[in-house]
Amino acid sequence: MHSDLSFDNDASRHFVPLIVAVMVYLATLALAGSMSIGGAVDQWRDAVRGSMTVQLPGRPGGQTSPEAVANIKAITDALLATPGVASAAPLPDSDIQALLEPWLGDADLPADLPVPILIDVTLDDGVSLDPKGLAQRLAVIVSGVQVNDSGASLERLVRLARSVQWVAGIIVALVGAAATAIIIFAARAGMSAHRKTIELLHLIGAHDSYIARQFQFRLLVLSLIGGVLGLVFGAVTLLVLTLLSSQVQASLVPRLSLTAPQWAILAMLPILGTAVATVTARMTVSRSLRQSL
Amino acid sequence: MVRFQNVGMRYGLGPEILHDISFQLAPGSFHFLTGASGAGKTTLLRLMYLAHRPSRGLISLFGRDTTTMKRRELPALRRRIGVVFQDFRLIDHLTALDNVALPLRIAGAKKEAIGAHVSELLSWVGLKDHIGARPPTLSDGEKQRVAIARAVIGRPSLLLADEPTGSVDHEQGLRILHLFEELNKIGTTVVIATHDRDLIARFGRPVLRLVGGELSVHRPPRVVAPSSALAQQAGGL
Ligand SMILES: Nc1ncnc2c1ncn2[C@@H]1O[C@H](COP(=O)(O)OP(=O)(O)O)[C@@H](O)[C@H]1O
Ligand SMILES: [Mg+2]
């Protein structure tokens, strides 16, 4: 587009793309983080839906000790007699050992270590049991029984995840606000740098829109360049993080794997950023032109 | 065409530079505006081309009161006024052609219509070889002629020129004034600010004189027309 204003030498040429790139980069990461946490929450929900864990105090000698076998049998029977319980089975020692491995290493557990016994309970579809009531009933049979309500601890985890998502949302909002302020600043600085030319254009009969259009187009180009750069760097960062996170085995760490629609949402960021920048520039310039004669 | 009634003008809180200015310019008239340096010639012209609102008084242009006009109505009025600024005010990064074409482009003229028309005018003011040149590469006299071409390209009804011969030699000054006379003949109202007494005497046109912030009008008897050779020169300008 032809421009009557000479933008080649003004500062906005370098700093607007840079700032917009940083903003889009941060927004990309925050949004991607928030979306993968959302995905992880859904996965956790699926994983724990309709299940509970009953924990018996460990006995020296492990699950094979006569006392343990009797306890397991008594509790399992009681559980299976409970309406709504579909199945109840102790986790084999090897699974428990695997669970403890991150803390205790992969050496064989000493035989006399009182490793707790875990009984995995599956509920019928749509059933939920009151974990406290169940624990009280089972404690009569074997003292020291605990019922792990994975639902409750999941809810705590979900709350944590949601607050992380909120923080990410706030970051995106702050980034947007900062970018808008910078665009306003750039538009104002541009106007004072071109004050004389703007006056000339007015005096030979230009409407405000003729002048505003040139600033608007200028900032559109600059912020689009910045936005695309920010997205490219953001995408590269995300790919690296995805690669790294796929090597982590912990099931609670949200996997950074975005779906195609989620990538599409991220790709909209530079476009959104450019649209906001363009509208902001136009409004800023029109507003300040209105104060001239 | 132009009507001032009790116009006073001050910049900010400064002293009043123009007091109680009242005059009227008939359509198709040709006036010189004179006065010592700092007398307020530029200020008076700025009021006429709507760069400033008067501190008091009424200004009407083309039969319309400009003091009560809305901002969005001003561009239409300004497009009927051609201005040669004392400091030219060319846009440095545009070529001579684009500078002259600016009023047409702003008025929304089609690109094809602009090009031929503008280069014709530039050749006419003797800048045929500088059509693609940018102002910083031009001499002051050349810049002045670009500024003049830009002022007249839109065939304004009112032409205001602020010391348009200040940067050119006497000969070229005469040629420029003859160009203005030609425009005046086809109906343009012309006001030329100058302190060149020689020029004023030569053209024998009514003079608006600013002294101490007051304006007086002098209508000297038309002196014998300048030599016909000069008139011919104007034709070739
Ligand atoms: N923008 C301005 N702000 C304040 N004072 C000004 C401004 N422009 C001109 N003046 C003052 O107004 C007076 C008239 O200036 P000007 O109209 O330029 O006179 P002239 O064109 O006749 O030389 C001068 O005293 C000048 O200092
Ligand atoms: Mg002056």
Specify the pLDDT at position A107.
Answer: 65
Q: Which structure tokens are listed for A12?
A: 């906005």
**pLDDT average, residue stretch A260-273:** 90
Q: Rounded to 5 degrees, what angle do the CA atoms B63, B190, B72 make?
A: 45
B42 in a structural domain: no
Nearest CA among B29, B25, B33 for reference residue B62:
B25
B20 in a structural domain: no
C-alpha to C-alpha distance for B38 and B43, rounded to whole angstroms: 9
Give the CA radius of gyration of chain A.
31
Ligand 1 centroid distance, CA of B46 (Å)? 10
**pLDDT average, residue stretch A151-164:** 82
Share of chain B above pLDDT 90, in %: 72
* Average pLDDT of every residue of chain A: 83
3-state secondary structure of B197: helix
The answer to whether A125 faces chain B, any CB pair under 8 Å, is no
Specify the pLDDT at position A120.
Answer: 85
Nearest CA among A171, A152, A164, A173 for reference residue A37:
A164
pLDDT exceeds cutoff 80 at A94: no
Q: In testing the pocket of ligand 1, which one of B7, B9, B13, B17 has its CB within 8 Å of the most ligand atoms?
A: B17
Specify the pLDDT at position A28.
Answer: 92
Is-contact A142 A70, C-beta < 8 A?
no
B115 in a structural domain: yes
Q: Rounded to 5 degrees, what angle do the CA atoms B92, B94, B95 make?
A: 110
Specify the pLDDT at position A12.
Answer: 72
Predicted confidence band of residue B5 (pLDDT cuts 50, 70, 90): very high
Q: Which domain holds residue B118?
A: 91-147
Q: Do B92 and A206 touch (CB under 8 A)?
A: no
Ligand 1 centroid distance, CA of B40 (Å)? 6
Residues contacting ligand 1 via CB (< 6 Å): B 11, 14, 17, 35, 37-43
DSSP code string of A180-220: HHHHHHHHHHHHHHTHHHHHHHHHTT--HHHHHHHHHHHHH
Q: Which structure tokens are listed for B187?
A: 């109906």
Which tens digit of pLDDT belongs to each residue from B82-130?
A: 999 999 999 999 999 999 999 999 998 888 878 888 999 999 888 999 9
Give the CA radius of gyration of chain B.
18
Predicted confidence band of residue A8 (pLDDT cuts 50, 70, 90): low
- The minimum-distance atom of ligand 1 relative to the CA of B162 is 21
Which tens digit of pLDDT belongs to each residue from B158-180?
A: 999 999 988 888 888 888 899 89
Is-contact B160 B89, C-beta < 8 A?
no
Choose the closest CB to A200 out of B74, B89, B98: B89
Nearest CA among A98, A97, A99, A75 for reference residue A88:
A75
Is-contact A198 A191, C-beta < 8 A?
yes
Specify the pLDDT at position A183.
Answer: 87
Helices (H), B107-224: 111-124, 140-152, 170-185, 197-203
Nearest CA among B133, B154, B32, B125 for reference residue B90:
B133
Interface residue of A4, A198, A203, A209 to substitute, partner B, most B CBs within 10 Å? A203
The answer to whether A46 faces chain B, any CB pair under 8 Å, is no
Specify the pLDDT at position A7.
Answer: 72
Q: Where are the beta strands (DSSP E) in A98-184?
A: 117-123, 146-148
Which residue of B lies nearest to A202 if distances are taken between CA atoms?
B75
Least confident of A98-112, A137-151, A219-233: A98-112
Which ligand does the CA of B85 lie closest to?
Answer: 2
Domains identified in chain B, total number: 1
Specify the pLDDT at position A283.
Answer: 93
Predicted confidence band of residue A111 (pLDDT cuts 50, 70, 90): low
Which residue of A lies nearest to B100 if distances are taken between CA atoms?
A204
Q: How many interface pairs between A and B have CB atoms less than 8 angstroms apart?
A: 49
**pLDDT average, residue stretch A19-35:** 90
The 3-state DSSP composition of chain A as helix, strand, coil percent (nearest 5) reads 70, 10, 25
Q: Which structure tokens are listed for A116?
A: 């707790």
Specify the pLDDT at position A251.
Answer: 55
C-alpha to C-alpha distance for A285 and A287, rounded to whole angstroms: 5
Residue in this structure with the two tokens 């020296």, named with its chain if needed: A60
pLDDT exceeds cutoff 60 at B232: no
Which residue of B lies nearest to A208 if distances are taken between CA atoms?
B72
B51 in a structural domain: no
Q: Which residue has the higher pLDDT, A6 or B189?
A: B189
**pLDDT average, residue stretch B12-20:** 93
Q: Which residue has the higher pLDDT, A251 or B19?
A: B19
pLDDT exceeds cutoff 50 at B214: yes
pLDDT exceeds cutoff 50 at B236: no
Q: In testing the pocket of ligand 1, which one of B19, B37, B42, B160 has its CB within 8 Å of the most ligand atoms?
A: B42
Which residue of B lies nearest to A196 if distances are taken between CA atoms?
B89
Tell me the residues of chain A between 192 and 211 that have a Cβ less than 8 Å away from chain B.
Answer: 196-197, 199-207, 210
Specify the pLDDT at position B106.
Answer: 93
Specify the pLDDT at position B229.
Answer: 47
Annotated domain spans of chain A? 12-46+154-292, 51-127
Share of chain A above pLDDT 90, in %: 22
Which tens digit of pLDDT belongs to each residue from A204-224?
A: 999 999 999 988 898 899 999
The answer to whether B128 faces chain A, any CB pair under 8 Å, is no
Specify the pLDDT at position B105.
Answer: 92
* Average pLDDT of every residue of chain B: 89
- CA of B40 vs chain A CAs: smallest distance (Å): 19
Choose the closest CB to A6 out of B53, B71, B93: B93
First CA to last CA across chain B, in angstroms? 28
The answer to whether B51 faces chain A, any CB pair under 8 Å, is yes
**Which residues, in sequence order, are CB contacts of B13 under 8 Å at separation 6+?**
none
Choose the closest CB to A293 out of B52, B103, B106: B52
Q: Which helix (H) or strand (E) is B10 found in, with range? A: strand B2-10
**pLDDT average, residue stretch A140-162:** 80
Q: Which residue has the higher pLDDT, B78 or A53?
A: B78
What would the 3-class secondary structure string for A39-62 be?
HHHHHHHHHHCCEEEEEECCCCCH
